[in-house]
Amino acid sequence: MLAAMPPTSPTPVNRDEAPPRAAVRESVQAPLRERGDACPGALRLHAADDGRLARLRLPAGLLTVRQAETLADAAERLGDGHLDLTSRGNVQLRGLDEGCGPELAGLLHEAGLLPSETHERVRNIVASPLAGLDEPAGLDKPPYPNVQLWARELDGLLCASARAATLSGRFLFALDDGRGDVAALGADVTLLAHQDGSVVVRTGANRPGLCVAPEDAPRAALLAAETFLTLAEAGGSGAWRVRELPAEDGRELDAALRAALADAGIATRGVAEATTPDLEGEPPLPGPVRSPDGTVALSVHARLGRLTVAQWRLLAAAANGPLRVTPWRGVIVPGVAPAMADAVLDRLRTAGLVTDPGSPWYGVGACTGRPGCAKALADVRSDATAAALSRPGSEGLPVYWSGCARRCGHPQGRWVDVVATGEGRYDISVQADARPVTTTPRPGPGPQPRPGPEQELELELADAVAAARTTPLTR
């Protein structure tokens, strides 16, 4: 039975999952940790209630068609027949048998998906997914730089650095081509292209950063991560991410990075000499995107971030070039002939993928929930599905359903926060830069409640979520 509780201030967000502005507190010392980072990887499998879980890092979300087929085979032979897309553009396999680790590792090695076993969990690199696949907005805007090349170089530098192997599996790099999409994801190190040709290197979300030349950008990103490690170890904070550094260490990081770049022969200048782009860029909408080479790239999203093997293979079969998994639980399919684009989109839509922003599934996300996660207090995927189908429409803020207060995988920025509290109840609020905004649920449009108390409560919950998505934000 479901019940929507009155909107309240949500349970405090887990620090490792919270938006960056909430976690940089000048008066709070990050506590020492008594355990190492247990973040799952492709080789370190996590024991979940539905079997073992493997998380495969995909720098910039790139996957060749052959590599995509390898993951489909692995999910089908070793897992539960599904592939989960994460909020960092990575892929997870679930329902794995306890003893499948060596076989899975062999498949990934053969496909070139494990270039370094010692670094496989630290290759967390997101990049603007449409880089090179769309035209810049406005005739006076220069072409976006190819951040995919930055990602490839940075990945190679990471895997060659023994120091970088000690980064947490939660440490994140974001490579933004200037449109402001992945720069808004709260990464630990961000490369942000500027229209004057320079690149802003930022550590954390609240610091202005330094300008470097584009050819120096990947090396500067690695130096920023290594400098963070030095400060975190010297200060004894146990920080896994930049936002966890004590305030004084955070301020020292800026100066230490400038010195490290100078020692490496990388010229810098302050960002006061350049205007930082808007950091609220929109992620790719579902649908066709015309590419400069005359082909069409197709942007599709997975319902609640989960794909069947059959859906995954349809995407791979349609691609003429590497697939790009996005941090918004979508996939970019490049190189489709214009004459075939509508037919391919229709085929993907029929298969259950989100191909249009008007879909009731667009903007709706959820964690694994019950029965896969032991910490979950509800089957959030079933409840999210019922709400989406009861009150179809994607207007307004994105909504994310969490099985517990940890809010694993939640979006950044502003979203409707639906958190299970137990006994079929949910707290519903709007998160805006980690500050809750009170919402007032109102009846939504649609059919009258079906007979029966459980159906009435389902519709009550759906109404509350729909109302929250369109509630004006107030501070």
Helix (H/G/I), strand (E/B), else coil: 289? strand
| Partners of residue 401 on adjacent β-strands | 366, 418
For residue 248, the model assigns a pLDDT of: 84
d(CA 5, CA 377): 15
For residue 206, the model assigns a pLDDT of: 66
For residue 249, the model assigns a pLDDT of: 85
Closest residue by Cα to residue 129 from 357, 344, 321, 396: 321
What is the biggest distance separating any 2 CA atoms in the chain, rounded to whole angstroms? 72
d(CA 472, CA 452): 33
Q: What residue type is 49 in one-letter code?
A: D
For residue 195, the model assigns a pLDDT of: 79
* Contact (CB, 8 A) for 405 and 425: no
Beta strand spans in 194-328 (E): 199-203, 210-212, 269-270, 287-290, 296-301, 306-308, 323-325
The predicted-structure confidence for 174-183, as pLDDT tens digits, reads as follows 999 998 999 9
Q: 371 preceded by cis ω (within 30°)?
A: yes
d(CA 14, CA 17): 5
Host H or E run for residue 365:
strand 364-366
User: What is the chain's pLDDT, residue by residue, as a tens digit (475 residues)?
Assistant: 344 444 443 333 333 333 333 332 333 343 456 667 889 999 999 999 999 999 999 999 999 999 999 999 999 999 999 999 999 999 999 999 999 999 999 999 999 999 999 999 999 999 999 999 997 655 456 667 889 999 999 999 999 999 999 999 999 999 999 989 999 999 999 999 987 889 999 999 767 899 999 999 999 999 999 999 999 999 888 899 999 999 888 889 989 999 999 999 999 998 754 444 445 678 999 999 999 999 999 999 999 999 999 999 999 999 999 999 999 999 999 999 999 999 999 999 999 999 999 999 999 999 999 999 999 999 999 999 999 888 766 568 899 999 999 999 888 888 899 999 998 899 999 987 544 443 333 333 333 344 455 666 778 888 888 888 886 654 3
Angle (CA) 333 336 337, round 5°: 170
Rounded to whole angstroms, what are the CA distances from 264 to 72, 218, 219, 226, 227? 42, 13, 9, 13, 12
Helix (H/G/I), strand (E/B), else coil: 142? coil
The predicted-structure confidence for 65-97, as pLDDT tens digits, reads as follows 999 999 999 999 999 999 999 999 999 999 999
Rounded to whole angstroms, what are the CA distances from 54 to 48, 84, 175, 313, 382? 10, 10, 25, 19, 23
Q: At what angle are helices 309-318 and 65-77 packed, to 10 degrees? A: 170
